[in-house]
Structure 1
């Protein structure tokens, strides 16, 4: 049945995104962060996008959604990402820079990555459900 078959391209996207995420976070982020935040920002954004794609592909490959899953996890993930980003900005605005107090950024950092994971997973899960509905309609 076409709706349960997983495309090999999804596995390629998943593995590629894992590799890009690992290279960006293990090679490039330590080179720039926290000493050069201006150059670290685009590197972090690329890493965040790759991280989200990892969970999107995982949601497409490994989730077994119901008829049409709720997007509540995506809403929570988006809110968690934005609140954590604002918390990191507030820390910086109050003088707790990443250079001076890197430990203060652990909780906002975890919130950012948890939010992106929730967002990617729920969009992937929803896409799987929509593709299954479309395949069932074509029969």
Structure 2
């Protein structure tokens, strides 16, 4: 596009230069020079703009990569925390079962101890009588 514009400008300069008088030729040459300077300035500004766009794109890609890396790190941390919570839940469930077993077992043991004590207390007078008889 820039080459085509430059070619058209140069062609116009040559056509005007051939058909005009010397005073007009210098005026046309001056206008052509100004046009070429403007075109060069526009080209320079476009180049700078393209560089800025490329730089911005690079920064955007880097920021996206950093954000993705941070998201992966956070997901790993969350998974680690979930695993830890699961482990703690399993420990809590095991402890709960142990307490429930104790609740069921303790009354049975207490009743057995009470019965054994009752039997011992009942047999104690008999034992004393047997010892006295001998």
Higher relative contact order (CA 8 A, sep 6+): 1
> Does TM-score exceed 0.5, indicating one fold?
no
Higher share in helix: 2
Bigger Rg over Cα = 2
